[in-house]
Structure 1
Amino acid sequence: MNIFKFIVSIAVLSLLTGCAKQSTPMGGPRDETPPQLLESNPKDQSLSVKPEELVLSFDEYIKLENPTKGIVITPRIETDKVEFTALKNQVKVKLNQDLEENTTYVFDFQNSVVDISEENPAENLKLVFSTGTTIDSLAVSGKVNFYYPKSNQAFKDVLIGLYPVGDTTDLFTGQPYYLGRVDTVGNFKINNVKNGDYQIFAWNDANGNLKADYKSEEWDFLKDTLFIQQNQEGIQFNLAGADQTAIKVTRSSAFGKNYDIILNRNPIWQQISTDSSQLNFFYTSLDKRIRIYPDRIPKDSIRFNLLLQDSVGNKIDTLIWGKFEGSERKPEALSISVNSGKSFYQDLEMKLTFNKPVKSINTDSLFVQYDSAGIIPIRPENLFFEDSAKRTQMIIKLVIPDSLPQTIFTLRAS
């Protein structure tokens, strides 16, 4: 396996890392063994049972961590009636309600049961039983993304909900019939689903009430009914804020030698064009702002046609007259980020992201170095921009000969 790394400047930046001396804590090694389930009543995969209480016994003393939020129960029951207790090595779940006929119930404890000493969570702790003669076995799976993810976007509060068609509740009025959580990268899977017709939703449940707040929480849904007669895979959600305000231009003005168009919300798609022969331009779109970079300052105002669409489907088609001005303002410095440290096998692909459009690249001084003297020149045919109208993301592709024994390759500009 080969590794690619990026040198930002001629100076070599070295990261010196030190390792603290490790020692065993007084009293012996730390207990890292999670609690083990010894038995449960009812037993996992039990049929034709209607328990009033669940009892789980472990091989050590345990406690519960936030069970009302951490334990996922499907299908829907009245969770405010459920009582969770932990005493010595037992967890008890008192239901205080009748269960539905011919229904498979899943109690997914996730990380809610931990040992007393080191709070190691019990792993893969799940209890499945049916009030009928069969266990429902269908599954629904997919992935959740955010339209505008933050740099530290977390998925810990993202939920997936299935509502039977004809249900009296929905995403905004009540918790779903089947509920699932996503993992740390947005993947989800809801198991033991009964065949039927459902509406499926995803939302970021920041306030923990198991339903979406349309004013403050991101959410998404599939418009079509989900007909579950077999496993459903590859379902995709893109969470976005529920603000239904139509996208619009709030103002526009010259910014140095460039021209800024300020919007009330971020577009997910944009197309900018002009029929003027006076101007060639590139543009960037970031933080509710479209910035137009001209190749020169035109004498007259330029008419731009803007086509924009936001995350909830609102579209506008409008005209903007832009007047470019000369300026003594110091140009914004060019900054570069790169996907360094990536592994590859034969075809080396590097992605460079710039903070503003790149007009041209001088490949005479651009090369990949693989030892103290060996280099691979980068030619124009090795370069391309992902979006020719923006020119802010450049891809470099090289085929590395199998004969090279080196495993680390460095992109350099001299």
Structure 2
Amino acid sequence: MKRLFFLVFISLLLTSCARVGSPVGGAKDSIPPKVTGSNIDSPRVNVPRDIKELRIDFDEYITLKDINKQLIISPPLKQITKMLPSGMANKFLLIKWADTLKENTTYNFNFGNAIVDNNEGNPLGYYNFAFSTGSKIDSLYISGELKTIFNDKDKKTEEENLVVGLYQEKDSMDYRQKPYYITKADTDGYFELNYLAPGNYQLLAFEDSNSNSVYDSGKEKVGFLKDKITLDKSISGLKINLYPSKKPLKYMEMKEVPGGVLMTFEGQPDEVKIISLNEKLKDYKVTHLPKSDSAMIWFNATEQNVGITSNENLKFSYDNGVKKDSVSLFYRYNTKNEMSVSNNRGNLLAPQQDFVITSNYFVDKIQPEKWSLVSDSIKQDFTAEVSEKNPFEIHIKSNFKEGKKYALTIPKETLSSFYETIKKTYRFEFEADKTENFGDLLLTLENAPEHKFWIQLINESGAVTYSKYGTEKQINFKSLKPGKYELRILVDENENGLWDPADFAKDIFAEPVYIFDKKIEVRPLWEIRETWDLLKENGKDALKETTKEVEKPKSINAKEPLIIASPK
């Protein structure tokens, strides 16, 4: 009996101990930590300039989440020497620095969402702590909204990295330094710059992708105002759009590719001149599309015995209009390389469209008179030509009938590049799709741009699927695939056949861009009619006050000549 009583007692004791620290049931804690005090008390003015730390106490244990990315101090402190908690939770936050504070200056510590409670991770949202070394805390503010045009579809939440900074206007401003005031936009793009002093400033917004609080030209999206801000009262409602920044022009790399060597650049040079510096390599051709980031050096490696039995050090000189230099690579001919053609657009051909085949080599010559197009065993009339926009594409035109099946045969050696030809016969089977599977869009523009422009439809994956260039005020998009599209206009103000981006370093603004304020939903057998008044577009003025750059669609190069160079 005593033994049974002892076992029951031990069981109850273990059960009681097991419950400690593991409460069951009840509402989940959703209350963020509360500030209970600080070493810099109210009214937080006339703070000694030699103070070297900020301590903030809380009512519960806290941890810091992504503090290096979240915390923004304005004006910036260069030498942060210590920050707690680090690793383990604590009931206070401590920041130490080595800098001597500036006189009559308001300092603002913007913690974003970095301060969270230790149990549930509830953030103390967008917490600010401000104090002044002068007799008052500056109280002016600037607020507004940031928006990234031409979003990168592979980024999940790009807006998380967007920041806005103010630089004090001086005779020489160094944008490679942190802004005097800086803040982070929230996930909706809204921002506030608080505790600002009166004065003249330059505003710069950018995507701080590496979290260094400094704008990295050519690597991060950017938006700026052309005119200075004279801050004598608070400003609200600013709308700033951010675009990829102009990349500096420079050489990137060379690599072996089918048909020769590919040389790539950053900054999209107007023209590239390339000369072989090799004794063996005398017969070659260079192709480069103006404003393209790559140039191709074509040659026959086997005939010139280049890199056949071992790696060969090939040297080339280049002139990209900004820099002249020589570069080299160890080249080895890949015996698996061969010229080929393929159908990359699927086996259903949209109404009133060309059938397009794509080559992996630059297409120099075709012999369509030796090709055949057949439907129901009957030969069809057709024409074929190399695309002026893309010399890697061949367009086949014919009176394609809806619902009919076709077969295009391209015999071997009837399509060639400079030093190569297709070694086998290709046969492509496809069907002309029915009009009932597509929709139309009739767009009328009011207050359209005075200069030529591109009107574009962008699908949900971010690709430009339809594009037209000209000055038409009424544009009819025929045979559109069902789906949702974004509608935009890129203006070619200088009518050079290219959309020119902005250059922040030179204070040069980009050519205008317009984004339609709603999605276009295309349905089968529907004709959608839309009227777009560009003067009423929200954000038109803001677009003029920001830099803009976008990956150029293929149609942008439609008017540019192709440069084909041969050694003299």
TM-score range, shorter chain: 0.5 to 0.7
Instruction: Give me the whole-angstrom Cα distance separating, in 1, the residues matched to 2:212 and 2:167.
Output: 16
Q: 1:311 to 1:38 in 2, by over 3 A?
A: same
1:84 aligns with 2:251: no
Q: 1:108 to 1:45 in 2, by over 3 A?
A: farther
Q: 1:149 to 1:187 in 2, by over 3 A?
A: same
SS of alignment partner, residue 99 of structure 1? coil
In structure 2, what residue type is equivalent to 1:120?
N
Contact 1:271 1:306 in 2 (8 A): no
1:267-287 deviations in Å (ceiling 9; x for gaps): xx98898xxxxxxxx964444
1:241 aligns with 2:244: yes
Q: How does 1:23-42 map to 2 (within 5 A)?
A: 26=24, 28-42=26-40
1:184-224 deviations in Å (ceiling 9; x for gaps): 11111101101111111000011111112212210011111
In structure 2, what residue type is equivalent to 1:139?
Y
Q: 1:261 to 1:85 in 2, by over 3 A?
A: farther
Q: 1:283 to 1:114 in 2, by over 3 A?
A: closer
1:180 aligns with 2:183: yes
Q: How does 1:3-402 map to 2 (within 5 A)?
A: 26=24, 28-50=26-48, 51-78=51-78, 80-86=79-85, 88-150=90-152, 153-166=157-170, 169-171=173-175, 173-243=176-246, 245=268, 257-258=352-353, 284-286=456-458, 287=463, 290-291=467-468, 309-312=499-502, 313=509, 353-354=520-521, 360=527, 384-387=529-532
In structure 2, what residue type is equivalent to 1:162?
L
Cα drift, residue 126 of structure 1? 2.1
% identical aligned pairs = 28
In structure 2, what residue type is equivalent to 1:42?
I
Contact 1:249 1:261 in 2 (8 A): no
In structure 2, what residue type is equivalent to 1:39?
G
Contact 1:284 1:356 in 2 (8 A): no
Q: 1:62 to 1:150 in 2, by over 3 A?
A: same
Q: Which runs of 5+ in 2 are unaligned?
A: 1-21, 248-267, 271-289, 293-348, 355-386, 391-447, 470-474, 479-494, 503-508, 534-568
Contact 2:53 2:94 in 1 (8 A): yes
SS of alignment partner, residue 69 of structure 1? helix
Instruction: Give me the whole-angstrom Cα distance separating, in 2, the residues matched to 1:294 and 1:233.
Output: 40
Q: Which of 236-245 and 69-78 deviates more?
A: 236-245
SS of alignment partner, residue 59 of structure 1? strand
Instruction: Give me the whole-angstrom Cα distance separating, in 2, the residues matched to 1:262 and 1:358.
Output: 30
Higher helix share: 2
Instruction: Give me the whole-angstrom Cα distance separating, in 1, the residues matched to 2:238 and 2:145.
Output: 6
Instruction: Give me the whole-angstrom Cα distance separating, in 2, the residues matched to 1:81 and 1:100.
Output: 16
Instruction: Give me the whole-angstrom Cα distance separating, in 2, the residues matched to 1:291 and 1:65.
Output: 48
SS of alignment partner, residue 61 of structure 1? strand
SS of alignment partner, residue 244 of structure 2? coil
Instruction: Give me the whole-angstrom Cα distance separating, in 2, the residues matched to 1:56 and 1:161.
Output: 26
Count, aligned residues: 286
Cα drift, residue 130 of structure 1? 0.6
In structure 2, what residue type is equivalent to 1:68?
N
Instruction: Give me the whole-angstrom Cα distance separating, in 2, the residues matched to 1:284 and 1:356.
Output: 18
Cα drift, residue 88 of structure 1? 2.7
Cα drift, residue 352 of structure 1? 6.6
Contact 2:160 2:186 in 1 (8 A): yes
SS of alignment partner, residue 69 of structure 2? helix
Contact 1:170 1:176 in 2 (8 A): no
Contact 1:270 1:309 in 2 (8 A): no
In structure 2, what residue type is equivalent to 1:138?
L
Q: Which has the larger radius of gyration?
A: 2
Instruction: Give me the whole-angstrom Cα distance separating, in 1, the residues matched to 2:457 and 2:519.
Output: 17
1:141-172 deviations in Å (ceiling 9; x for gaps): 1111112134655311001010101176533x
Q: Which runs of 5+ in 1 are unaligned?
A: 1-23, 264-268, 274-281, 297-304, 317-338, 340-350, 362-383, 389-414
Contact 1:160 1:200 in 2 (8 A): yes
1:212-270 deviations in Å (ceiling 9; x for gaps): 221221001111111111112222221111135589787xxx9973489969xxxxx98
Contact 1:285 1:291 in 2 (8 A): no
